[in-house]
Amino acid sequence: MRTLLNTLYVQTQKSYLHLDNDNVRVEVEGERRGMLPLHHLDGIVVFGNVLLSPFLIQKLGRAHKPVTWLTEWGQFTARSETPVSGNVLLRVAQHACTCDPARTLAVARYIAAGKLQNQKTTLLRSAREAAEEDAPALRQAARDINAQIAVLPLAETVDEVRGIEGTAARSYFEVFSLMLRVNRDFFWLGERTRRPARDPINAVLNYVYTLLAGECASACQTVGLDPQIGFLHALRPGRQSLALDLMEELRPVVADRAVVTLINRQQLTPRDFTLHEGRTVTLTEDGRRTIIKHFQERKAEEVHHPLTGRKTPLGLIPHVQARLLAQHLRGDRPHYPPYLHR
Amino acid sequence: MIDLLITYDVSTETPAGRKRLRRVAKVCVAYGQRVQGSVFEVSVSEVQLVALREKLLQEMDPTEDSVRIYRLRQPREKFVEAFGRDGYRDMSAPLIL
């Protein structure tokens, strides 16, 4: 059996990592926080102001364990290249997979299945908390999405998968505003509009999706995947197709859930929006701040990952999923397992 | 991965013995976690176990010292009970510092 090695994430600002007897010794202001034998690690990811000793960087390089530097907020900045990195082979595998319609279809199908399943879970959870008159509509939408999941295995092309996903998305967004319990006259959702947003919910969704897409792109970079070469999303210059692919199954869980919670708790109110002429809506600066704060807190929440069986902070799920996808592309896993939220 | 318990008793009566003690400890630290003074919990692959055993044999003096390697039954949580101060860290759990 192939064992999964672990990645060390260092988020504590002003940490100092150095090499001590084949261990990574983590110190914060001179105080020891951890001794981690190198043979347990397959890489180190550091956020923001974290210092690594030159000997540690060199030792990690020789042992083919890359270091990834992200900003304190998780944006990708740099990554060390080791003498023989899995990087190029992984990318070749990724390219080979996109050139193979059957494999592309399989990955796209699993991603879509994950997304639909998570949409269903989100709707059913809201239905339990919703008012009596709204619950049946939410349950019906969940059943409609369930029917689409059943159709997925029949899809013969990626286009058909996209079609099924679109049908499910329509059922989902039709009842989206029923998940809200307050300020219903203000928060309404006509249809999904991207640029510009035509209503407040679209404005919030677009913003949260942008935050999440950034997370997914840096997760791809960290693992060594090419963020622009996706499976479900069509390739287009400048589009982070793979990041968008990874994001699909997380949209309902991370982004949509956050929006519903913020509105229901009245942390996001009509005052946080600006209505412009020509029917466009944008968020105010205060509104954006509220969303970022909630998003950061949500990322720290621990969820149970059904495949690894571990408690994982929600913010690390994109990294876990990117790693699982990489394993599939390398041939270590028969298929890509999407993240299914409970 | 194989979970091991390594304990040693190195004679410290001579300067050479104290030197051996430090070296044996160093080998153990490189591979695992110190759970008590001269007791280590180590989690290694088959290949690493061969290297670890070889290194320990090189450092110790078989006429004076004793090193014992026990295999721990898995899962560890079920078969290891620890009381009191415990700095053990599960290396397969998410490592976020």
pLDDT, one tens digit per residue, over A260-277 is: 888 888 888 888 787 777
Contact A35 B33 (CB under 8 A): yes
Same domain for A54 and A93, yes or no, is no
Same domain for A94 and A44, yes or no, is no
Q: Considering only alpha carbons, which residue of chain A is nearest residue B49?
A: A39
Report whether pLDDT(A1) > 60: no
Say how many residues make up chain A.
342
Same domain for A114 and A168, yes or no, is yes
Query: Which whole number is the average pLDDT over A199-220?
Result: 81
Number of domains, chain B: 1
Is residue A338 in a domain? no
Instruction: Show residues of chain B in contact with A301, CB under 8 Å.
Output: none
CATH number of the structural domain spanning residue A177: 1.20.120.920
pLDDT, one tens digit per residue, over A52-67 is: 999 999 998 888 787 8
Tokens of A208: 């949260």
Least confident range of A17-21, A57-61, A246-250, A331-335? A331-335
Query: Which whole number is the average pLDDT over A172-186?
Result: 82
Q: Are strands A67-70 and A23-28 parallel, antiparallel or unpaired?
A: unpaired
Least confident range of A111-120, A203-212, B11-20? A203-212
Query: Which whole number is the average pLDDT over A169-177?
Result: 87
**Domain interval for residue B12:** 2-73
Report whether pLDDT(A233) > 80: yes
Number of domains, chain A: 2
Query: Which whole number is the average pLDDT over A88-98?
Result: 87
Is residue A162 in a domain? yes
Amino acid present at B87: G
Residue A302 assigned as binding residue: no
Q: Across all residues in chain B, what is the average pLDDT?
A: 87
Facing B96 at nearest CB: one of A9, A37, A40:
A9
- Kindly report the backbone phi and psi dihedral angles of residue B89, in degrees, each rounded to the nearest multiple of 5, phi listed first: -125, 130
Contact A3 B43 (CB under 8 A): no
Is residue A313 in a domain? yes
Facing A6 at nearest CB: one of B44, B48, B95:
B95
What residues in chain B have their Cβ under 8 A from chain A's Cβ atoms? 1, 26, 29-33, 43-45, 48, 89, 91-97
Extended strands (E) in A38-103: 41-47, 50-52, 67-70, 76-79
- Do residues A256 and A201 make contact, with C-beta atoms less than 8 angstroms apart? no
User: Of B33, B30, B94, which is closest to residue A11 (Cα–Cα)?
Assistant: B94
**Domain interval for residue A113:** 88-329
Is residue A185 in a domain? yes
Q: Which of A34, A57, A79 is the last residue of a domain?
A: A79
Q: Across all residues in chain A, what is the average pLDDT?
A: 83
pLDDT, one tens digit per residue, over A24-36 is: 999 998 888 888 8
**DSSP three-state, residue A85:** coil
CATH number of the structural domain spanning residue B64: 3.30.70.240
CA distances from B62 to A163, B29, B50 (A): 72, 21, 18
Instruction: Show residues of chain A in contact with B30, CB under 8 Å.
Output: 21-23, 37
- Do residues A182 and A266 make contact, with C-beta atoms less than 8 angstroms apart? yes
For the full predicted model, state whether its pTM sits above 0.95: no
Contact A12 B33 (CB under 8 A): no
Instruction: Show residues of chain A in contact with B45, CB under 8 Å.
Output: 3
Same domain for A250 and A109, yes or no, is yes
Contact A3 B94 (CB under 8 A): no
Report whether pLDDT(B57) > 60: yes
Q: Considering only alpha carbons, which residue of chain B is nearest residue A319?
A: B94
Contact A9 B30 (CB under 8 A): no
> d(Cα B75, Cα B71) in Å, to the nearest integer?
12
